[in-house]
Chains A and B, each alone.
Chain A
């Protein structure tokens, strides 16, 4: 699995190197390095280190403990669902606004993670949502996401 990660890194570095070639030359005669020089040096160094690491990985293939993802493991599956919920939460922030999306995300996530005490859970979610909204939105004047349509208008009443 690490080999796949290394291949991905190599591809990423090669793409960045190719892009860096389009940065153009020097605009100041004594700027020997230019805008592309520093990233190119760093990319070449990265590729060298990546190569050393990959060779080392292949050489010690038998001795080293393999890092693999167990897709059948319950913990791994829950983590994937957790990441999906987190991604959904980030998407919903701009649609439903901070308060509603935080409330929904928190409720679903703590249930998914196995927390079953309904009253305590609800109290926690309410305290979390309200306190963060008030502290950041009201006191620190952070313009938290407001959502769209009526939710946006309603949010102005709170923060």
Chain B
């Protein structure tokens, strides 16, 4: 009890509160700018925390992370440019919803879901951190493979209009994920002698090119041909606060996605983007109207946003309890612990229990602030939409180039962006699924490596995937999620044929 009171006094101190507000807003802005993201935001603020009290310093960095994960949704919804990799799944329904003239509601949903996910993960962290950490340690290659399958299973719903094209798009993404040095044998694959391809194709420039730049090409072509516009994002998008009754209406999606986010966040090296895809896939699987996903429905925004912010608290669990970072961002926060002379792990929690409570309270305060700050930051960002289209197109192209370049200060990422802008354009033209393609590209590496590692450990036997309980359950859920929409569509087609006859 004494530790809780002490934590409250630390977090609610005037200086701490001001710093949390600044950190959350800073995180949101960095998250909304493509190419920056949570890691960059934390690294930039890290030096400013040297002189702070260690606990306040860590809370500030966690607040940046909370804000950045949510901020990624702003540009994903308004411009179809995901600010962070964990906001990719938000574009699936966020942007179509904005095209329907409901950008304000989409932003409101994203912020509410993000806050819900963060608060849930903080609660989970507080109540059962040591237990969750033990569960995380049970995750081995078989479980990682099963998780990647679960993430990939939403392909069938992403391609409800043309399943074959969606599957082909995902396969092309999986194929490109194998470019670079093989993680197990070190063999060069599809590098064609080019050293810049050794580290593979980063999905951020691919994503910016295939989504944002390709969208600019299409818009230029449509707007300059004098044809009437089919749809556009409303220019006066105002942030809409989500009512509690609306949250209750979708309570199951909020809760389930937050649980998924927290669990996936706990697993080392998984992270927010995989959590978002898995939550999206699960939302599709359990929906009564899976065919509406991708057309701009609320669950399609809630699921990825609640889960990617759920992963924030989740990733702190192994960091705090075991000293193993749950994500690259958590690794930077762990470095911050060490810079302040603290060593994360069981000893720290027993010696300084106020640290856990302070982080927990800090995440809750930051999440609530996010709702308020989200309104003002979204309004500022939505002003961009008021620009005449020629100016907006130039802004997106320049921002896209800078976003791709700033990832590794590498010009080749800009070339990748340019190349994949054509892939996005042709996919759009021939009704292939860009989302399935990006999904394959992101999950391909983890799927292949975990599958091969499991086979190596199991002496080449495939039984390891089904004899491990967690892996088996996840694989069954993946198969259900994958074949469910297909069977449903097949049945519908059959009944439509009978009616027609």
Interface residues of A (CB under 8 A from B): 2, 5, 9, 13, 16, 19-20, 23-24, 27-36, 38-39, 42-43, 45-46, 49-50, 52-53, 56, 67, 73-76, 78-79, 82-83, 86-87, 89-90, 93-94, 98, 102, 105-106, 109-110, 113-115, 121, 124-125, 128, 132, 135-136, 139-145
CB of B334 closer than 8 Å to a CB of A: no
Tell me which residues across on chain B come within 8 A of A23, comparing CB atoms. Answer: 182, 187, 189
Q: Sample 7 A-B pairs with CB under 8 A, ordered by A number.
A: A20-B190, A33-B452, A34-B185, A38-B452, A39-B178, A93-B411, A115-B391
Q: Which residue of A lies closest to B227 (CB)?
A: A75
A56 to B175 CA separation, bound complex (whole angstroms)? 24
B493, CB-defined interface residue at 8 Å: no
B372 at the interface (CB under 8 A from A): no
Taken together as a complex, chains A and B put the C-alpha atoms of A105 and B213 apart, in Å, by 15
In the assembled complex, B388 has its CB within 8 A of some CB on chain A: yes
| A79-B217, A145-B411 given; 11 more Cβ-contact pairs under 8 Å | A23-B187, A31-B460, A34-B185, A38-B174, A49-B165, A79-B224, A109-B393, A110-B390, A110-B394, A115-B390, A132-B398
Contact residues in B for A94 (Cβ distance below 8 Å): 411
**Contact A46/B168 with A38-B452, A113-B224, A142-B405 known, Cβ cut-off 8 Å:** yes
Contact B40 A128 (CB under 8 A): no
Please, which residues of chain B bring their CB within 8 A of the CB of A89? 397, 401
- Say if the beta carbon of B379 comes within 8 Å of chain A: no
On whether the beta carbons of A43 and B175 are closer than 8 Å, the reply is: yes
Cβ-defined contact, A121 with B391, below 8 A: yes
With A and B bound together, what is the CA distance between A21 and B202 in angstroms? 24
Q: Which residues of A contact B414 (CB under 8 A)?
A: 90, 93
Alpha-carbon separation in the docked complex, A50 to B409 (Å): 37
Contact status A16-B164, CB under 8 Å: no
Residue B44 is within 8 A (CB to CB) of chain A in the complex: yes
Q: Given the interface contacts A31-B452, A79-B221, does A109 sit within 8 Å of B394 by beta carbon? A: yes
User: A124 and B391: CB pair below 8 A?
Assistant: yes
Q: By the criterion CB–CB under 8 Å, are B217 and A83 in contact?
A: yes
Closest to B166 in A: A49
Check B418 for interface membership: any CB of A closer than 8 A. yes
Docked pose: A28 CA to B457 CA in angstroms: 11
Within 8 A of A (CB), among B189-230: 189-190, 192, 213, 216-217, 220-227
Contacts of A31 in B (CB 8 A): 184-185, 452, 455-456, 460
Q: Is B429 an interface residue (CB 8 A)?
A: yes
- B residues near A128, Cβ cutoff 8 Å: 394-395, 398
Query: Contacts A23-B187, A67-B430, A102-B398: A49 and B225 contacting too (C-beta < 8 A)?
Result: no
B8 interfacial by beta-carbon distance below 8 Å: no
Alpha-carbon gap, A50 to B169, bound state (A): 10
6 A-B pairs with least C-beta separation = A75-B225, A113-B390, A115-B390, A49-B168, A75-B224, A79-B221
With A16-B190, A105-B394, A143-B409 already in contact, the answer to whether A35 and B221 are too (CB < 8 A) is: no
Question: Which residue in chain B gives the minimum CB-CB distance to A87?
Answer: B418
B42 to chain A, nearest CB (A): 12
Residues of B contacting A67 in the complex (Cβ-Cβ under 8 angstroms): 429-430
Is B224 within 8 A of A74, CB to CB?
A: yes
A2 to B165, CA, bound (A): 12
Task: Evaluate contact between A109 and B390: CB separation under 8 angstroms.
Answer: yes
A88 to B253, CA, bound (A): 46
Contact with A along B155-186 (1 / 0, CB 8 A): 00000000011011001101100100010110
Complex-state Cα separation, A73 to B227, whole angstroms: 10
Expressed in whole angstroms, the Cα–Cα distance for A27 and B185 within the complex equals: 7
Q: Which residues of B contact A144 (CB under 8 A)?
A: 402, 405
CB-based nearest A residue for B36? A140
Q: With A79-B220, A136-B402, A145-B405 as given contacts, are A56 and B411 in contact (CB-CB < 8 Å)?
A: no
- How far, in Å, is A52 (CB) from chain B's closest CB? 5
B50 at the interface (CB under 8 A from A): no
Report the bound CA distance from A132 to B167 in whole Å: 39
Q: Check B426 for interface membership: any CB of A closer than 8 A.
A: yes
